[in-house]
Structure 1
Amino acid sequence: MDQDKDLPLREDIRQLGRLLGDTVREQRGEPAFELVERIRQLSVRFHRDDDEAARVGLESTLDALSREETIDVVRAFSYFSHLANIAEDQHHIRRTRAHLIGGSAPRAGSLAHAIERVFSDGASADDLGAFFNSALVSPVLTAHPTEVQRKSILNCQTAIARLLDERDRMTLTPDEAEESDAALRRAVLTLWQTRMLRPAKLSVIDEIANGLSYFDATFLREVPRLYAKVEDTLAGLHAPFAGQDWPAFVQIGNWIGGDRDGNPFVTAEVLAQAQLMQSTVALSFYLEELHTLGSQLSLADGLVTPSDALHQLAEASVDRSPHRADEPYRRAIAGMYARLAATHQALLGKATTPPPAGEAPAYPDAAALTADLDILHDSLLAHDSAPLTRGRLRQLRRAVKVFGFHLAPIDLRQNSDVHEQVVAELLQAADPKVDYLALDEDARIALLLTEMMSTRPLRSPHIVYSELTEGELAILRTARAAHLRYDIAALPNYIISKTDGVSDLLEVAVLLKEAGILRPHEQALDMNIIPLFETIDDLRASGATMDRIFSLTAYQRLLDSRGRAQEVMLGYSDSNKDGGFLTSGWELYKAEVTLVEVFRKHDVRLRLFHGRGGSVGRGGGPSYEAILAQPGGAVQGQIRLTEQGEVIGAKYGNADVGRRNLEVLVAATLQASLQADASPAPRPEYMDAMQALSDYAFEAYRGLVYETPGFEQYFWESTVITEIAALNIGSRPASRKKSTAIEDLRAIPWVFSWAQCRLMLPGWYGFGSAVQRFLAERPDDGLALLQAMCRDWSFFSTTLSNMDMVLAKSDTAIAGRYAALVSDAALRDAIFPRICTEHTATINALLAITGQQALLDGNPLLARSIRNRFPYLDPLNHVQVELLRRHRNGAEDERIRRGIHIAINGIAAGLRNSG
């Protein structure tokens, strides 16, 4: 039966592969097609049948490629990875629709399933209402150098996905089927002829534009639809919920244009431009929707009786056409359009198309536009036209409430070291006797508290400050201007990277005071000050840091102005690079447990912001399971998490897939908040065992990465890190400093590089050694204990599930070809066999604990995905290694460099969550 369900997927993959093959034949000639097809058949045979002759034939064919042939092969197999992704996404949509049409029981991750679970666990309708009245679920888009897709490529993929979806949803006549086939062929040809690589490095403005494309494609329409689903579901469960105007509990956040940590190109001018670009997207959408709504609401006086408020809105309209004199809704909407056009002109300095019927005053804020939309809604209800409130008007009302005039809240982020330097300079300029950098933590806190509550500004207009200080102050002035221009919701958060003490938070408070964002005379704060704990040591100290700052009366007063809620961000990437996969996950878990206790002690609401990446090595993995695996009390109705790199495209590039992913986040947050046993406290012996495993894994990981002589050289020569650093895939440098040290390397390219060579080392290394040592110390009951932990503790089982996924995508045979690039044979022979031994030990440990016979026994969907795509991925790895060898041996041919970068693109697409 499962095979029948997957038949449409296999047919889509075959058809797309056939169209790509035809395109290669037509564009590059019969020899190129035959070469690609021979490589494909050999790779499929090797993977399907473990055919050694096929492997030998594959390698000899690939090794003999000319430079021109290499480019053809790399392009063909890279594009196939993209096409396979489209087919898989479409199959997920297909299967979801089939379940809904067939009336299947609600599936895990759906809102219906979550509500069913919390009700069965004893929650009441009132509990549900309280949750949605105070919830916050916010995926936050970030720009990171693993997003290797050009927007033009994404547009081509969207066109192909739309054609596949149309074929699924309707029965085509022979003529329609023929036209659909022709359109699909054109779309694949367009993809083939669209340049995959960027000719120049991305600017921050380019990254902003890329991020905004997901609002046009998905968020502006699908977020309101999700709200409608929630509202209708709740109304069906509890009559008093009908017509309830729930707060905007789903928010799409954004770092692009505000994240300055390690990115010198994010300036005050860029932040202002980001705000302008975001507002343009929001206002343009509202204008278009209003224009269409006006054409639809053609209701006439005499046939309906609009409310007095609606008539007043119509009378105030600039529309004086006699043809619409008896159409009050159209006239009212024309007036609203004119006011919104004036708002567009005021905020953006640009006129609208089509132009309004006349001049009108601009809306002072988005709430005023919402009030007018509410008049339309209430009037329609009053004359029994409720169905007319549930279409475009409903979607537009919700969109304005969620997105406002600013579209998405932009987070500011900067490193604590920068704040320290800026504050030190400001203080010394104000009083040359003050040497802030020489002060200990207690003295810093005392001085900062005095400055924070002083109404006297630190900055003098008569002093010339350093470029760093002026740049940071300019950012904050721009933030304050955005608050006044759009709303404080436009820039609500300030995140402090590398937080390791209370002074790091107070430094930001002092700087916010300089911009008027913190007002000491009112004891008010217009921005959340958010510590980011990211190293192992900082995670361990996080509870003590928050306990100490909550003990400060001045900070408590600021919290009162923020509704006594405090956000804390947890860093998955750097903690993993610092301590390894297992220790990072465990220290994050323990930090959350401690934070829950500290926040409860001080009566402060905790909101966690999870800095997850796409890869398991950076906290990735299925969001639903990850949220449910949080410690009890850690998800208090509110959660934010980063969406990074190519994962943004995978989750939100397709509107249907995007809505489903947003629903999963809401469902998981609901369950984790209201379901009493969603994440029960682990037994003490589980905690002890996990601590022992973490200690052993930490020792193994640090021993390899930071204590093995020459490991840094091995990493740079056995992976594509050098080429990634040169690839035009992001505005941010690969390292924080100009060095090759692992400590200075940003976590994103660190993980991405290991994924490219198919080792995935940051997602598993150390676990095998840890289990071996644990079992050696507890030979009688150790394995049974670990098996019980896997069965009973969601944190541990989720950890193993994520490791299972990573190991299934790894391949030491392919990784060995990259290891051969290391110039020092002794270094290579000292490190690579050690990695392989740990890889084998980790797989054996995982299988023994889970009881699986093979990797992914418990995840048939991913196993199917790997079967479908890896025969097309392995040739890319093989060719990439050969290109790297030629490039590093001095070949200057631009085609070689281009081939390496195309292969990086294709491998990332094939792995899907490598960044």
Structure 2
Amino acid sequence: MSDSSPSRGAASWRPSISIVDHIHIDDAGRALTEPLRNDIRLLGTILGDTVRTHSGDDIFELVEGSRKDAFRIRRGELDRDKLADRYTDIDIAVAMPIIRAFSHFALLANLAEDIHRERRRRIHVRAGDPPQVSSLANTYAALAKAGLDDAAVGKALADATVVPVITAHPTETRRRSVFEAQHRITDLLRQHLRQDPTPEEDAAIIEGIRRQILILWQTALIRLERPRIEDEIRTGLRYYDAAFFEVVPKINTQVRQALRAAYPAAGITDDPMIRMGSWIGGDRDGNPYVTDEVVSFSTTMAARTAIGHYLEQLEVLGQEVSLSTRLTVPYDELYALTGSSPEDPSADEPYRVALRHIRSRLAAKATAMFGEDVMRTSDLYLVDGSAPYDTADELLVDLDIIDAALRANHDEIIADDRLRTLREGVRTFGFNLYGLDMRQNSDMHEEVVAELIAWAGVHPDYASLDEDERVALLSAELTSRRPLIGPDAELSELATKELAIVRAAAKAVALYGPEAVPNYIISMCTSVSDMLEAMILLKEAGLFDPNDGSPRSTVRVVPLFETIEDLQQGAATILAALEVPFYRKLVQSQQGIQEIMLGYSDSNKDGGYMAANWALYRGELDLVEAAKKAGIRLRLFHGRGGTVGRGGGPSYDAILAQPPGAVQGSLRITEQGEVIAAKYSEPVKAARNLETLLAATIESSLLDVEGLGDDSESAYRDMDEIAALARSAYSKLVHETPGFVEYFTTSTPLSEIGALNIGSRPSARKQTTAISDLRAIPWVLSWSQSRVMLPGWYGTGSAFEQWIDGDETKLATLRRYYEEWPFFTSVMSNMAQVMAKSDMGLAHRYAQLVPDEELRDKVFGMIVDEHERTIDMYFKITGTDDLLADNSALKRSVYNRFPYLEPLNLLQIELLRQFRAGEDSPRIRRGIQLTMNGLATALRNSG
């Protein structure tokens, strides 16, 4: 490794080794990726032709020259300064098409990579290769090999639930028009892949791609104004029509059938294993724009989307199922459903009559909930005076009658098509579509509850009470049905707003069912009183009922343990809560399940990558033990972001890396930003990624995947020591280095994230410069944009080096953990992925934005030293000299197209320099925003 030290300073530092020198592509790898490179060349050529035609030869030459120079930089044939100099003082009118060209290329390259993954999977299937790891087929084979009996499977998968929870993200600002153009290009590429086209057909496909790329080029990638929460809600709903309505019901059906066939006595229920969740519109932690109107909008739009989909499917089904009683056997229950008779000539097509009746009742429900003009329906299928369904279960009962009629007539092949998907969809999505989680910070709860208690005359100064006194007071209120306030209470703006929000949630539950708002999450939860304060608000809204000593609530209270200290104390907090008599009764009434959310983001920001990952693992071990001790069931909700610094990385590996007993058939996990588009923007990708979540959950619930055996306690002790060393190294930079916050804010686009209308949520919870108050997304996003990727690795190299301290036995121990322990393997693999995306050469140029030269030299020097040390230790522990030896897909991406990021980074730096020098024009702002969006698209998991 190169000898880099802080004393040399950022001004004189030059990288002696490029990151691609740590990524090796052999001839076999190049041969496997040749089809991908062909697709990228095709798309790049068409994009280049489009740029030349519509922006002129001069712009095309600038783009093409930048592209060639970027690859020359990667090959070591050109100094990065040469390309950067080309952009110095560049006019925004010239910069903008270059930014747009490389942003579009990143988007198109993503599509090509997705198609290439499909191509590789098809090759493996056709070759008769074993099922791919992380597929359900592989999982079923692993279960069969383990020889599990039906009872064990039934117990482990009782109430099995996997819930991806969609959340908003500031870099996912693509407009629907862009989204749809991507879909069309993907479909055309898929035609190119799967067909053996004639020359004429191939020309037509290429012409179609050319047309869509032209549309894309002339369509604005991002909105001009800051997106509102309503925009983010609509963006989240977009994925249902794009993929979820088609894919989720099919997977739920398939996994149920497969498990029942293999374990007929396991008692696998009809309950869907995959359900959907959302935070968009309910998460008000640090977001002042979430109001009661927003909660109503989110839940109403979700219900409209679900019911609108059912109405459309019923109409299509009615057109398809034209079976006549002259050619089929009459089914009495079918006539009973509609009140008709086989002798009635108008009932000659009884399935159509029944579907018309069902659709009329559903349309009546929609009209009752949303108004006359909201749901568009066809008069052909409406019968005046139809009684609306009360619940989705009633709709399902009627659909089941049609299913039974078809099967009685040996028409299973019809029943198993659209009707089965619709029935499973109703079972999965209900009338609510998704469960909207509510979330607020514990500090806000304390302030509001103190005001309510003072207004009611219960205690004048709640904040002065210690924890035991608070718990006693809150418990007394939560065992009494008496409300604290009446309708005429004069409250502060904060208390009025918070109560209005929770009451809006109660209204949604009344309208759309208890699944509409299933959870209330408490951010920065540190105590039992934090949990009970949230319940006071639920009680005031009618969502919690003391019920004369038998408390009940359809909304679960979910503590979120975020910082390292909170994770370490989480088990004690839960055990203390369960010692409160009424709370234990409440948990027992909720199937004996206590859900707990684990925060990956703030723990990382608090203590660094290795310390946070180990705190989460240790915290889960403690929570599992606490649940056993208390006699309850544990459900964990993983607050993972897209990037490794926020818990990201391959989902399958991450789930298998959980400690024993932590999954237990249930998993909730957040999905954010570009990761949502990468995973769920169309059916093929959505099916693969949802299958991965299910496969890992089932394996973790039924198989011993930790792999440590009797060595677990010694491994835990070793990691305790390593994590402490890593946290110390991280804190030395982030929390103890004078001026670090200034370095961070000036060497990254942090301040511009807040200023450039990126996302509806402010970048900080409070108006402060403290790292602790900064939201995790801008913290990670800023380091990603500047290509430092600090949250995904800093402190780990020092920890390994200090812990090993030249002892070959300790090095051998870590090598064994890497080979045998999924947790350690996952941590190391994810870190390597981050470091493969980092670039200290580009980071060096961002460092030049720091005005204070002494501070710049000191902090950047520390970062470079630790970066090289971490790579060195990774190679020693893994025994490889390739950062991506275990991730061929990412290796292809980094090697083949990361040079295209070079112009985006260099132009972002130049525009940041101009912006901070006072060039505050709308086009400069938009250019910076476009570079952020382009880099986020290219990196795919940047925030």
- Scaled by the length of structure 2, the TM-score of the pair is 0.94
Structure 1 position 124, deviation (Å)? 2.5
AA in 2 matched with 1:706: H
In structure 2, C-alpha distance between the alignment counterparts of 1:696 and 1:610, rounded to whole Å: 25
**Secondary structure, aligned partner of 2:227:** coil
**From 295, 298, 305, the counterpart of 2:322:** 298
AA in 1 matched with 2:46: L
1:383 corresponds to 2:383: no
* Corresponding residue for residue 474 of structure 2: 448
Structure 1 position 880, deviation (Å)? 1.1
Structure 1 position 302, deviation (Å)? 3.3
Whether the aligned pair in 2 keeps the contact of 1:567 and 1:609 (CA below 8 Å) is yes
AA in 2 matched with 1:724: I
In structure 2, C-alpha distance between the alignment counterparts of 1:77 and 1:790, rounded to whole Å: 38
5 Å matches for 1:886-901? 886-901=914-929
> Which structure exhibits the higher relative contact order, with contacts defined as CA atoms closer than 8 Å and separated by 6 or more residues?
2
Structure 1 position 679, deviation (Å)? 5.2
1:559 corresponds to 2:584: no
Structure 1 position 403, deviation (Å)? 0.4
**From 41, 44, 51, the counterpart of 1:24:** 51
5+ residue gaps in structure 2? 1-27
AA in 2 matched with 1:765: Y
**Secondary structure, aligned partner of 2:884:** coil
**From 346, 352, 356, the counterpart of 1:330:** 352
Whether the aligned pair in 2 keeps the contact of 1:132 and 1:249 (CA below 8 Å) is no
In structure 2, C-alpha distance between the alignment counterparts of 1:816 and 1:363, rounded to whole Å: 63
Structure 1 position 376, deviation (Å)? 0.6
**Secondary structure, aligned partner of 1:414:** strand
**From 317, 341, 352, the counterpart of 2:363:** 341
- Most deviating of 495-504 and 246-255: 246-255
**Secondary structure, aligned partner of 1:609:** strand
* Corresponding residue for residue 190 of structure 2: 165
Structure 1 position 236, deviation (Å)? 4.7
5 Å matches for 1:738-749? 738-749=767-778
Whether the aligned pair in 2 keeps the contact of 1:536 and 1:578 (CA below 8 Å) is yes
Whether the aligned pair in 1 keeps the contact of 2:150 and 2:264 (CA below 8 Å) is no
Aligned residue-pair number: 909
Whether the aligned pair in 2 keeps the contact of 1:344 and 1:352 (CA below 8 Å) is no
1:71 corresponds to 2:96: yes
* Corresponding residue for residue 658 of structure 1: 686
When residues 23 and 843 of structure 1 are mapped into structure 2, their CA distance, relative to the original with a 3 A threshold, is: same
Whether the aligned pair in 2 keeps the contact of 1:9 and 1:88 (CA below 8 Å) is yes
In structure 2, C-alpha distance between the alignment counterparts of 1:399 and 1:431, rounded to whole Å: 49
Whether the aligned pair in 1 keeps the contact of 2:158 and 2:665 (CA below 8 Å) is no
Alpha-carbon displacement from aligned partner over 1:624-653 (angstroms, at most 9, x marks no partner):
000000000111100101001111111111
* Corresponding residue for residue 142 of structure 1: 167
* Corresponding residue for residue 409 of structure 1: 435
Alpha-carbon displacement from aligned partner over 1:289-331 (angstroms, at most 9, x marks no partner):
00011111111113222321112124359x9995x53111111
5 Å matches for 1:28-177? 28-47=55-74, 49-52=75-78, 55=80, 57-63=82-88, 65-177=90-202
Structure 1 position 69, deviation (Å)? 2.3
**Secondary structure, aligned partner of 2:771:** coil
In structure 1, C-alpha distance between the alignment counterparts of 2:151 and 2:198, rounded to whole Å: 51
**From 502, 506, 514, the counterpart of 1:488:** 514
Whether the aligned pair in 1 keeps the contact of 2:149 and 2:263 (CA below 8 Å) is no
Structure 1 position 821, deviation (Å)? 0.6
1:808 corresponds to 2:830: no
* Corresponding residue for residue 827 of structure 1: 855
Whether the aligned pair in 1 keeps the contact of 2:153 and 2:263 (CA below 8 Å) is no
Structure 1 position 157, deviation (Å)? 1.4
In structure 2, C-alpha distance between the alignment counterparts of 1:528 and 1:425, rounded to whole Å: 24
**Secondary structure, aligned partner of 1:593:** helix
Structure 1 position 166, deviation (Å)? 2.2
AA in 2 matched with 1:260: R
* Corresponding residue for residue 332 of structure 2: 308
When residues 531 and 814 of structure 1 are mapped into structure 2, their CA distance, relative to the original with a 3 A threshold, is: same
AA in 2 matched with 1:153: V
- Most deviating of 811-820 and 698-707: 698-707
**From 224, 233, 237, the counterpart of 2:262:** 237
- Most deviating of 858-867 and 89-98: 89-98
* Corresponding residue for residue 754 of structure 1: 783
In structure 2, C-alpha distance between the alignment counterparts of 1:713 and 1:419, rounded to whole Å: 32
Whether the aligned pair in 1 keeps the contact of 2:560 and 2:597 (CA below 8 Å) is yes
In structure 1, C-alpha distance between the alignment counterparts of 2:569 and 2:42, rounded to whole Å: 55
* Corresponding residue for residue 24 of structure 2: none
Structure 1 position 740, deviation (Å)? 2.2
When residues 112 and 895 of structure 1 are mapped into structure 2, their CA distance, relative to the original with a 3 A threshold, is: same
**From 232, 237, 246, the counterpart of 2:270:** 246
Whether the aligned pair in 2 keeps the contact of 1:698 and 1:766 (CA below 8 Å) is yes
5 Å matches for 1:221-300? 221-234=246-259, 236-238=261-263, 246-300=270-324
5 Å matches for 1:880-891? 880-891=908-919
Structure 1 position 722, deviation (Å)? 1.2
In structure 1, C-alpha distance between the alignment counterparts of 2:482 and 2:96, rounded to whole Å: 64
Structure 1 position 868, deviation (Å)? 1.6
When residues 582 and 320 of structure 1 are mapped into structure 2, their CA distance, relative to the original with a 3 A threshold, is: farther
Structure 1 position 239, deviation (Å)? 6.0
AA in 2 matched with 1:127: A
* Corresponding residue for residue 23 of structure 2: none
When residues 199 and 864 of structure 1 are mapped into structure 2, their CA distance, relative to the original with a 3 A threshold, is: same
Structure 1 position 438, deviation (Å)? 0.5
Whether the aligned pair in 2 keeps the contact of 1:148 and 1:646 (CA below 8 Å) is no
- Most deviating of 209-218 and 522-531: 522-531
AA in 2 matched with 1:300: S
* Corresponding residue for residue 25 of structure 2: none
In structure 2, C-alpha distance between the alignment counterparts of 1:320 and 1:334, rounded to whole Å: 19
5 Å matches for 1:416-431? 416-431=442-457
Structure 1 position 509, deviation (Å)? 1.8
- Scaled by the length of structure 1, the TM-score of the pair is 0.97
Alpha-carbon displacement from aligned partner over 1:196-228 (angstroms, at most 9, x marks no partner):
231111111111000000111011111012123
In structure 2, C-alpha distance between the alignment counterparts of 1:875 and 1:694, rounded to whole Å: 37
5+ residue gaps in structure 1? none
**Secondary structure, aligned partner of 2:641:** coil
Whether the aligned pair in 2 keeps the contact of 1:146 and 1:749 (CA below 8 Å) is no
* Corresponding residue for residue 743 of structure 2: 714
In structure 2, C-alpha distance between the alignment counterparts of 1:126 and 1:603, rounded to whole Å: 20
Whether the aligned pair in 2 keeps the contact of 1:315 and 1:332 (CA below 8 Å) is no
AA in 1 matched with 2:394: A
**Secondary structure, aligned partner of 2:520:** strand
In structure 2, C-alpha distance between the alignment counterparts of 1:787 and 1:432, rounded to whole Å: 60
Alpha-carbon displacement from aligned partner over 1:255-314 (angstroms, at most 9, x marks no partner):
111111111111111111111111111111101100011111111113222321112124
Whether the aligned pair in 1 keeps the contact of 2:165 and 2:669 (CA below 8 Å) is yes
1:10 corresponds to 2:10: no
When residues 706 and 309 of structure 1 are mapped into structure 2, their CA distance, relative to the original with a 3 A threshold, is: same
- Most deviating of 836-845 and 897-906: 897-906
- Most deviating of 593-602 and 225-234: 225-234
5 Å matches for 1:575-586? 575-586=603-614
Whether the aligned pair in 1 keeps the contact of 2:525 and 2:566 (CA below 8 Å) is yes
Identity %: 46
* Corresponding residue for residue 7 of structure 2: none
Whether the aligned pair in 2 keeps the contact of 1:143 and 1:207 (CA below 8 Å) is yes
In structure 1, C-alpha distance between the alignment counterparts of 2:529 and 2:707, rounded to whole Å: 34
Alpha-carbon displacement from aligned partner over 1:419-448 (angstroms, at most 9, x marks no partner):
111111111111164321100000000111
RMSD between aligned residues? 1.9
1:189 corresponds to 2:214: yes
**From 746, 758, 769, the counterpart of 2:798:** 769
1:794 corresponds to 2:822: yes
AA in 2 matched with 1:769: S
Whether the aligned pair in 1 keeps the contact of 2:756 and 2:925 (CA below 8 Å) is no
When residues 414 and 433 of structure 1 are mapped into structure 2, their CA distance, relative to the original with a 3 A threshold, is: closer
* Corresponding residue for residue 849 of structure 1: 877
Structure 1 position 678, deviation (Å)? 4.5
In structure 1, C-alpha distance between the alignment counterparts of 2:185 and 2:152, rounded to whole Å: 44
When residues 897 and 513 of structure 1 are mapped into structure 2, their CA distance, relative to the original with a 3 A threshold, is: closer
In structure 1, C-alpha distance between the alignment counterparts of 2:117 and 2:672, rounded to whole Å: 21
Alpha-carbon displacement from aligned partner over 1:805-840 (angstroms, at most 9, x marks no partner):
000100101100000010011111111111100100
**Secondary structure, aligned partner of 1:391:** helix
In structure 1, C-alpha distance between the alignment counterparts of 2:114 and 2:702, rounded to whole Å: 31
